[in-house]
Structure 1
Amino acid sequence: MARYAQSERQLLADLLIAVGPDAPTLCEGWTARDLAAHLVMRERRPDAAAGILIGPLRRHSERVRTSLATRPYPELVDMVRAAPWWSLVSNPLADAAANTMEFFIHHEDVRRGRPGWRPRELPREQQEALWRRAKGVARLALRRVRAAVRVQAPGYGETTAGSGGAQVRLVGAPGELAIFLSGRQRAARVQVDGTPEMAAFLRSAKLGV
């Protein structure tokens, strides 16, 4: 649902202002300022945003993000809060598909980057929207894992991923699974059932798409 992409965007912008530019996040080495610059680049600099996924463009992407991070922090947050209508990833047609999970995860990056956080109680409809996206992410994030991984969201459904072999289960709420599968395992409330070796591997592996 597009409204969850929009509501998480506003909650994230509010939190970025509340914690300040130097607050830690779950993104290794990034402060709140760095995360805001990343989001601005992703929406407003498609030439640089391609480097998020394409290795040879990564250096250009990092230069642009670093340059954006030098802007006044309130200005950066305002740019996060109000996406340009022409953005490839945030225009009205693309917003729900591209941003429902993106802004939820980055909101949690800031929330869970500090001690004392607790999981939020999300509306069922939002959990359903996250689950629809997490299923696709699971197949990508776990595609090279040498195990048959059952990803279960009780009350929402399950999917299978991995390349086959040992049986492993990941069990959690859709939002927690989304956080786990995006490579933030240490901050996700997800149960991992399997051999001790495989469970340890999944909790430390470099996941994400």
Structure 2
Amino acid sequence: MTHLARIERESLCDTFDQVGPDAPTLCSPWTTADLAAHLVIRERRPDLAPGIWLPPLAGRLEESQADYAGKPWPELVDLIRSGPPAWSPAQLSSVDDAVNFLEFFIHHEDVLRGDGQVGPRREVPLREQKALWKTLKRLGKVFFRRSPVGVVLERTDGKVLTVKGPTELGTVTVRGDATELVLAAYGRRRVADLSVAGDDAAVQALWEAPLGLS
């Protein structure tokens, strides 16, 4: 059975092929070419990674990203589609899933919802939905650690997950499919199809909080 990261990798690359290098993404001001270049550098150029956190090295990272973004579009997409380089531990499917599945899923949605409109643009397979829910169970407390309010995630089938205990500001229940809840956890709630229950001030405090892994 094809592993999850490979499925999302192929699906993302198919979308890249359809929309081309100049389409908008949720990672504004990045276009799809910029986002694809980011993914290639993340997977193939670990020597440039310190530029993400160290300002003195940021220029080298930005220059390399611009170089990759300027490559012929089929060549750039193929660098992603062809998979991890031979030296990468992600050659192992278990490592690939752990390192890349969520990354590819989020960035695929960044492309699909790049117009900023709310709601899904594809039917995500049940297998992936289950994996995304498991991710929330494993990392939900990390994603919402900076929330000033309690947070309960509720799937549309009624399954519930508390990712932040109650605070003096109250608790907010966020309801939606696993795909939409993951997008909210990653700070993409403005394009996620969600419903919320809670005091208005608590809801506002939640959505103003910096969510995600960063």
Normalised by the length of structure 2, the TM-score is 0.85
- Structure 1 position 151, deviation (Å): 1.4
| Larger CA Rg, structure 1 vs 2 | 2
Q: Answer yes or no: is the 8 Å Cα contact 1:171–1:190 preserved in 2.
A: yes
What corresponds to 1:121 in structure 2?
123
Residue type at the aligned position of 1:40: V
- Tell me whether 1:184 sits opposite 2:185 in the alignment: no
Residue type at the aligned position of 1:132: K
- Structure 1 position 29, deviation (Å): 0.9
Aligned residues: 208
Ranges in structure 2 where 5+ consecutive residues have no aligned partner: none
| Cα deviation 1:94-123 (Å, max 9, x = unaligned) | 111122222111111111113778523323
Residue type at the aligned position of 2:162: T
Partner-residue secondary structure (3-state), 2:43: helix
What corresponds to 1:39 in structure 2?
39
| Partner Cα separation in structure 1 for residue 42 and residue 182 of structure 2 | 20
Matching residue within 127, 150, 161 for 2:152 = 150
| Partner Cα separation in structure 2 for residue 2 and residue 48 of structure 1 | 30
What corresponds to 1:82 in structure 2?
82
Partner-residue secondary structure (3-state), 2:29: coil
What corresponds to 1:173 in structure 2?
177
Q: Which moved more, 1:7-16 or 1:156-165?
A: 156-165
Pick closer, same or farther for the CA change 1:189–1:72 going to 2, 3 Å: same
Matching residue within 136, 141, 144 for 2:143 = 141
Normalised by the length of structure 1, the TM-score is 0.86
| Partner Cα separation in structure 2 for residue 159 and residue 63 of structure 1 | 42
Q: Answer yes or no: is the 8 Å Cα contact 1:170–1:191 preserved in 2.
A: yes
Residue type at the aligned position of 1:195: D
| Cα deviation 1:165-209 (Å, max 9, x = unaligned) | 111111111111111111111111122221112212333433211
What corresponds to 2:65 in structure 1?
65
| Partner Cα separation in structure 2 for residue 131 and residue 172 of structure 1 | 11
What corresponds to 2:113 in structure 1?
112
What root-mean-square deviation, in Å, do the aligned CA atoms of Structure 1 and Structure 2 show?
2.5
| Cα deviation 1:44-80 (Å, max 9, x = unaligned) | 011223555x455871543432332222222111011
Ranges in structure 1 where 5+ consecutive residues have no aligned partner: none
What corresponds to 2:93 in structure 1?
92
| Cα deviation 1:123-153 (Å, max 9, x = unaligned) | 3222111111123332112101121111122
Q: Answer yes or no: is the 8 Å Cα contact 2:148–2:209 preserved in 1.
A: no
- Structure 1 position 156, deviation (Å): 7.4
- Tell me whether 1:206 sits opposite 2:210 in the alignment: yes
Pick closer, same or farther for the CA change 1:198–1:46 going to 2, 3 Å: same
Partner-residue secondary structure (3-state), 1:144: coil
